[in-house]
Amino acid sequence: AAAVASSAALRVLLADDASVNGTILREQLDVLGCTVRVAGLGRTALDLLDADEWDLLLIGTDLPDMKAVVLAQTARLRHVSCDVVIVTSHLMPDDARGYAAAGVECVLTKPVTLARLRGVLTSVAHRSGRHVGGAAMQT
């Protein structure tokens, strides 16, 4: 199974409301060759985490039913191997400390560029033995 995993695209669970930013993030993940599933609620994201294996849980901070930090903590407790990244339009020092305590690997601030997203995905792929495909990056 490890040989199969090494050639597979990153499996990303995007927990985000149906906003324009969430749609753009989904499109960026598609361009980068990820297999993406979107959950509009924290509860739905937890159900999907329980039902399947994921390389990355990407959490927007505008979920209607659950704070991002609570979803991150719960995901971290249930799924040690799944990386957790928060995407937010505003990051306060207290938020950053709370996210770090919840086991979040990194916080991306909006707007998220394709290059920054690719950098995060490359780090996740390195740990998971998968790859990041998709569009060539301009340097």
pLDDT tens sequence across 106-136: 999 989 999 999 999 999 998 887 878 764 4
pLDDT tens sequence across 68-93: 999 999 998 887 678 999 999 888 88
In the chain, what are the domains? 2-126 (3.40.50.2300)
Looking up tokens 């927007």, which residue turns up?
Answer: 60
Percent of the chain past pLDDT 90, that is, above it, reads: 65
Q: What share of the chain is helix, strand, coil (3-state, %, to 5)?
A: 45, 20, 35
E-assigned strand segments in the chain: 11-15, 35-39, 56-60, 83-88, 106-109
